[in-house]
Amino acid sequence: MKKFEIPSKYRSSFIGQIKESRKITDPRKKDFTPTVLDFGPLQILIARHFGFCYGVENAIEISYRTVDENPGKRVFLLSQMIHNPLVNKDLESKGIRFLMDTSGNQIVPWHDLTALDVVLIPAFGTTIEIENKLKEIGIQIEKYDTTCPFVKKVWTMSEKLGSQDATVIIHGKHAHEETRATFSHSTQKAPSVVVKDLDEAKALAVFARGEGTKEDFYTRFKGKHSANFDPDIHFNKVGVVNQTTMLASDTHEIAEYFKSIMIVKFGEENLSDHFVDTRDTLCYATNDNQDATYGLLKEQADLAIVVGGYNSSNTSHLVELCERKFPTYFISDVTEIKSENKIQHFNYEKKELRLTNDWLPKSIKPLRIVLTSGASCPDAAVDAVLDKLLSFFENTLNKEQLLVSMGV
């Protein structure tokens, strides 16, 4: 796989050596058990896969190179490059300005842009409408498009479904930048509708079965369906794609659910005429990180820490998985760990920060902590959390001693 040139401050020599060691012993990525870092009184169960993915490193490399190659020019990002506050703050410090926030609200008016400006398209991609607006201004977008190839793969699948006269059901968060982009591209070729989860999929199935009125459909799925979507005719053939950072198990469940709807509606012998099996369209990193988290759930631990941006979809799903078994703390970076007695963390369901006291049960010996991060989180941020945890314990191995003891 291509090696990207990203700032060294995002990397960690310690974590890099651990990852490289696992690659050597498990080149085909079949082993999803965590690496146990035994420091003595503290044991860290670090996920088999975590941290920056291909698409993120590609986007960061292009962003930094763009600034260097365009001295004196104004450089803008459509919105956050990735959902990580550390990286976005660094990009702003390089002089890059955001045109919009993550909800699509304008920060810099379009009329302020000129053909001399540089505009970076983030890893999530963007809508056809915004692409056309930039082209009308005269801004070149191809050279500065950092859209993840796995997102583009979803767009290609959506186009394929359209060519087969199928309606595209998008499993995603309809307000998320990536889903907004996928929806825009999908609607160019096919009727499209967005569902967030299985409950919303079941609500949509009411109309797929012909049991609801058009008025109810337009009310229930306002803002989530393509123009001129007709529930009476656009559920004769369907296929499911997804926002690349959703839970794979959820996408599979939604696809199987609509498959069963089509079987009941048209008969199993006619299934191929009414359901297109797309498999899932998640990116490899999302799959790997989720499988590695399932590997963590097979272990015994006292708590879990997940590091990443609070608006990161893929990170929130790792939190969701960890919470099935462990007391879990979702933090953006090491500064959220205030002390061994206080931690600030994010509740992604209620979208609020919380401060928890007595979060670290040091009386347990050895204390076992699960540690992982999202695909937009630098390894250096995870390493900083590890160092902070080690500072709360006495008589621990240092990291160099640990690597020697592990034969790394």
Q: Taking residues 3-7, what's their average pLDDT?
A: 88
Q: Taking residues 97-116, what's their average pLDDT?
A: 93
Lowest mean pLDDT among 79-93, 162-176, 255-269, 326-340: 79-93
At 321, is the pLDDT very low, low, confident or very high (cuts 50, 70, 90)?
Answer: very high
Percent of the chain scoring above 90 in pLDDT: 86
Residue 90 lies in a domain: yes
Give the number of domains in the chain. Answer: 3
Q: CATH code at 218?
A: 3.40.1010.20
Residue 1 lies in a domain: no
At 174, is the pLDDT very low, low, confident or very high (cuts 50, 70, 90)?
Answer: very high
**153 shares its domain with 267:** yes
**270 shares its domain with 360:** no
At 171 the pLDDT is 97
**398 shares its domain with 296:** yes
Q: CATH code at 133?
A: 3.40.50.11270
Is a pLDDT exceeding 90 seen at residue 391? yes
- Mapped to the 3 state alphabet, what secondary structure does the chain carry? CCCCCCCHHHCCHHHHHHHHHHHHHCCCCCCCCCEEEECCCEEEEECCCCCCCHHHHHHHHHHHHHHHHCCCCCEEECCCCCCCHHHHHHHHHCCCEECECCCCCECCCHHHCCCCCEEEECCCCCCHHHHHHHHHHCCCCHHHECCCHHHHHHHHHHHHHHHCCCEEEEECCCCCHHHHHHHHHHCCCCCEEEECCHHHHHHHHHHHCCCCCHHHHHHHCCCCECCCCCCCCCCCCEEEEECCCCCHHHHHHHHHHHHHHHHHHHCHHHHHHCEECCCCCCCHHHHHHHHHHHHHHCCCCCEEEEECCCCCHHHHHHHHHHCCCCCEEEECCHHHECCCCEEEEEECCCCEEEEEECCCCCCCCCEEEEEEECCCCCHHHHHHHHHHHHCCCCCCCCHHHHHHHHCC
At 280 the pLDDT is 65
Residue 261 lies in a domain: yes
Is a pLDDT exceeding 70 seen at residue 26? yes
pTM as predicted: 0.89
Q: Which of 144, 168, 201 is where one domain is finished?
A: 144
**312 shares its domain with 244:** no
Residue 3 lies in a domain: no
Q: Taking residues 24-43, what's their average pLDDT?
A: 96
**313 shares its domain with 224:** no
**288 shares its domain with 303:** yes
Residue 2 lies in a domain: no
Residue 132 lies in a domain: yes
**106 shares its domain with 168:** no
Q: Residue 358: give the domain boundaries.
A: 8-53+284-406
At 305 the pLDDT is 98
Residue 64 lies in a domain: yes
At 275 the pLDDT is 97
Q: Which of 109, 144, 179 is where one domain is finished?
A: 144
At 1, is the pLDDT very low, low, confident or very high (cuts 50, 70, 90)?
Answer: low
Average pLDDT, the chain: 94
**49 shares its domain with 70:** no
Is a pLDDT exceeding 70 seen at residue 239? yes
Q: Which of 144, 166, 199 is where one domain is finished?
A: 144
Residue 91 lies in a domain: yes
Where in the sequence numbering do the catalytic residues fall?
A: 178
